[in-house]
A and B are shown apart, each in its own frame.
Chain A
Amino acid sequence: MKSLGSIRRSFAPWADPAAKPYISFENITKRFGDFTAVNNLSLDIYEREFFALLGASGCGKSTLLRMLAGFEEPTSGRILLDGQDLRGIPPYRRPVNMMFQSYALFPHMSVEQNIAFGLKQDGMPKAQIAERVAEMLKLVKLEQFARRKPHQLSGGQRQRVALARSVAKRPKVLLLDEPLGALDKKLREETQFELMDLQQNLGLTFVVVTHDQEEAMTMADRIAILDKGEVMQVATPAEIYEAPASRFVAGFVGTVNLLEGRVMSRDGATLRIKGASGAEILVENAPDSVSSGEVAFAIRPEKIKVSPRQPAEGTPNVMAGEIFDLAYLGDMTVYHVRLADGQVVKASALNSARVSEDQLTWNDRAFVSFAPDAGVVLTR
């Protein structure tokens, strides 16, 4: 468990109790009429962090971003940026800049003018503006497009102009609202890495709003999963995936099998769960808090092994079933195995060999098995 946090890189100020958060949402609530967009939410973001707000549409993530930018004021609670309370500060005086989902490039201005706009507002001397604009154009590799108007650019180029414009002022925090949403899949993948490099090079704090879990997992240091205006879990991508805090998070990110059951006994960190079908599940590394009651055992498909032959006697966590459906995806195959009690378990197997002896097909009898530490026990 403790190794998960360091999978990505050693940058982890959130794990350091002495570190001071850079942005703090403190008990933020935002209502629009009867609708509560954000409900008593608290969240800390650290300097130089690449932080993602992930959730379905309507979960309050954009509202949170717009409150940080100053386009909405919280109904209650406060937002601190670098120790300063932001309440009452209009958007044009906040040291944060935003990259809009629609890019919001000024259609009557050239690329240069768009990038220079924010600098002019600060009254920066002309020579310095020109220098900074050139630097930004170089950064996003758009030097030869400086005099073009936004409508003369492709979607990917527009996205880069929007990015250059929002970082030109060197804001303390860059807010990105679905930054890659308007790009096609291939371009999106390339741009993800460009964004990460940019954030590293400039040393900025990024807060990105997205509904695309892959995007969040790839780019972010930490992800906050939001639902109905509340934070479900804040953790690194690996933790979110491997150690989801609740059934919701487990189901929201990736594919998961939830095996419902009841705790029978606890022995140290080992838990015995009786599944709904009567099968027994052995779990190691169970959290200390769980020793009884209804729980769900969450396990990812790739951690389940499917085999036509029964595993050796004494192997824990073996269940018999029948191949109910399968999807051949090229690099791997996903099996839907119907267990004795009717529950369908998804298991994926990497097709590491071109031809396999153990080919399973529809209606074959199969055994699924998994290691005692391959999944997590969820109480929520």
Chain B
Amino acid sequence: MNTTWSRFNIASIVLGFAFLYLPIVLLVVFSFNESKLVTVWSGFSTKWYGELFRNQGLIDAAWVTARVAFISASFATVLGTLAALALTRYTRFRGRMLFSGMVFAPLVMPEVITGLSLLLLFVAIGLDRGFLTVTLAHITFSMCFVAVVVQSRLITFDRSLEEAAMDLGATPVKTFFAITLPVILPAIVSGWMLAFTLSLDDLVIASFASGPGATTLPMKIYSQVRLGVTPEINAACTILIAIVAVGVLIASVVNKSREVQRQRDEQAAQRT
């Protein structure tokens, strides 16, 4: 496409990104504020980070969150990948409409409804609320996100790769593990990362599904935020942002360099 990047285009992008990033930048900046008052700058300090590490409640919550996120993301990845396979590979089966509905609906379902309904299920089957129930809840909604990510990869997957493997004597099971899985692996990995972050971030569903002893970090932050803005929370948020930002940056840098390498290889191949 020929690009005539007008001033208006540039201005809208700059303003848009300023709007998206300024609040986060301010939050990070004020986590290093000396003063207890979050909005009045009174000098640089890292003391709130020190406070943070002495706050046992927050650290416990962070540990719970990390475990829930890890376990739920792993299960959600398996289930979501299966769901994506079912949706792309089986164009016709009984109840396919319902199935695809159940995969797509949680993506847009208001969290209060998902949370409430899961809670009522756990009560109805007599499951005590706690670590297990949060994990189950997170698996359920994040597997749908994984399914969408993996499905979009499977749709562009060249089926003749599988046919070639079978043609060369690989059984269907072997074909799946030797060809299909390695090829779609990047999508599965990003599905896992997405599920992990979703679980890490979730407040509403966790509030419904969790119980005593399984307070997650967002729940903890929320209860403190309601009492007012504190530099300590800013510091906690900054750490969370840093973790995610570093993760995403590493992933995209790896991707980018792989892409660049690939392009270079392809150009080199054309010359030979």
Contacts and interface: CB of A to CB of B under 8 A. Distances in A.
B160 A121 contact: no
Contact of A100 (B163, B170, B262): B163
B4 to A, nearest CB: 33
A126 interface: no
Nearest to B264: A152
Given A102-B158, A102-B160, A104-B163, A165 B168 contact: yes
A98 interface: yes
Interface string A61-98: 00000000111000000000000000000111110111
A98 B178 CA distance: 19
A324 to B, nearest CB: 44
B3 to A, nearest CB: 28
Contact of A169 (B160, B168, B171, B270): B168
Interface in B150-193: 158, 160-161, 163-172, 174, 178-179, 182-183
A214 to B, nearest CB: 25
Interface string B2-35: 0000000000000000000000000000000000
Contacts of A252: none
Nearest to A145: B272
A350 interface: no
Contacts of B167: 69-70, 91-92, 94, 96-98, 166
Given A106-B161, A107-B183, A154 B272 contact: yes
Contacts of A106: 161, 164-165, 179, 183
B174 A121 contact: yes
A92 B269 contact: no
Contacts of B51: none
Contacts of B168: 92, 97, 117-118, 121, 165-166, 169
Given A106-B179, A118-B169, A169-B169, A152 B265 contact: yes
**Interface class of chain B by DSSP:** helix
Contact of B164 (A90, A93, A100): A100
Given A104-B161, A106-B161, A108-B183, A151 B166 contact: no
A153 interface: yes
Interface in B126-150: none
Given A90-B166, A117-B170, A152 B183 contact: no
B165 A151 contact: no
A93 B170 CA distance: 9
A157 interface: yes
A92 B169 CA distance: 4
A206 to B, nearest CB: 15
B169 A152 contact: no
B227 interface: no
A115 to B, nearest CB: 10
A91 to B, nearest CB: 4
A358 interface: no
A98 B174 CA distance: 18
Nearest to B164: A104
B109 interface: no
A92 B160 contact: no
Contacts of B163: 69, 71, 91, 98, 100, 104
A16 interface: no
Interface in A98-121: 98, 100-102, 104, 106-108, 117-118, 121
A75 to B, nearest CB: 17
Contacts of A190: none
Contacts of A91: 163, 166-167
A357 interface: no
B183 to A, nearest CB: 6
Given A106-B165, A169-B168, A151 B158 contact: no
Given A104-B163, A152-B268, A122 B169 contact: yes
Nearest to A121: B169
B122 to A, nearest CB: 42
B89 to A, nearest CB: 14
Interface of A: 69-71, 90-94, 96-98, 100-102, 104, 106-108, 117-118, 121-122, 148-149, 151-154, 157, 165-166, 169
- The 9 A-B pairs at the shortest CB distance, nearest first, are namely A118-B168, A121-B169, A104-B164, A104-B160, A152-B265, A91-B166, A92-B166, A108-B182, A100-B160
6 contacts: A69-B163, A98-B163, A106-B161, A121-B170, A122-B169, A152-B268
